[in-house]
Amino acid sequence: MTRTESLPDVRGRLMLAFPGLELPPAMERRLREAPAAGITLFRYHNVDTPAQVRALVGAAQAAAAAGGHEGPLLVAADQEGGQLVALGDGTTPFPGAMALGATGDPGLAERVGRATGEELLAMGVNVAYAPSCDLASNPANPHLGIRSFGDDPAVVGAFAASMTRGLRAAGVAVTVKHFPGLGEADLDSHHGLPVLALDRERLETTELVPFRAAIQAGADLVMSAHVALPSLTGDPGLPATLSRGLMHDLVRDRLGFRGLTITDALDMEALPQGDGQVVDVIAAIRAGVDVLLCAPDQERLARIERAVTHAAARRLFDGAELRASAARLASLRGRLAAAPEPDLAVVGSAAHRALAREVAERSITLVSDRAGLLPLRVAAGDRILAVMPAPRALTPADTSGSVAPGLAAALRDRWPDVDEVVTSHPPTDDEIAGVVARATGAAVTVVGTISASADPAQVRLVEALLATGRPVVTVALRTPWDLAAYPAAGTHVAAYGILSPTLRALTATLFGDLPFRGTLPVRAAVPDEVAR
Please give the positions annotated as active site.
190, 264
Pairwise CA distance, residues 499 & 504, whole Å: 9
| Residue 93 contacts residue 500 (beta carbons within 8 Å) | yes
Q: Which residues contact 108 (CB under 8 A, 6 or more apart)?
A: 100, 358, 359, 362
| Residue 325 contacts residue 289 (beta carbons within 8 Å) | no
Element (H, E) at 293: strand 292-293
SS (H, E, C) 184-253: CCCCCCCCCCCECCCCHHHHHHHHHHHHHHHHHCCCCEEEECCCECHHHHCCCCCEHHHCHHHHHHHHHH
Return the ∠ at Cα 56 (arms to 52 and 57), rounded to 5°.
120
Cα–Cα distance list, 419 to 288, 492, 494, 505 (Å): 57, 20, 22, 19
CA 206 to chain centre: 20
Cα–Cα distance list, 340 to 54, 159, 331, 332 (Å): 14, 26, 17, 15
**Which residues on neighbouring strands pair with residue 293, listed in sequence order?**
15
Largest CA distance in the chain: 87
Q: What is the CA radius of gyration of the chain?
A: 24
| Residue 124 contacts residue 58 (beta carbons within 8 Å) | yes
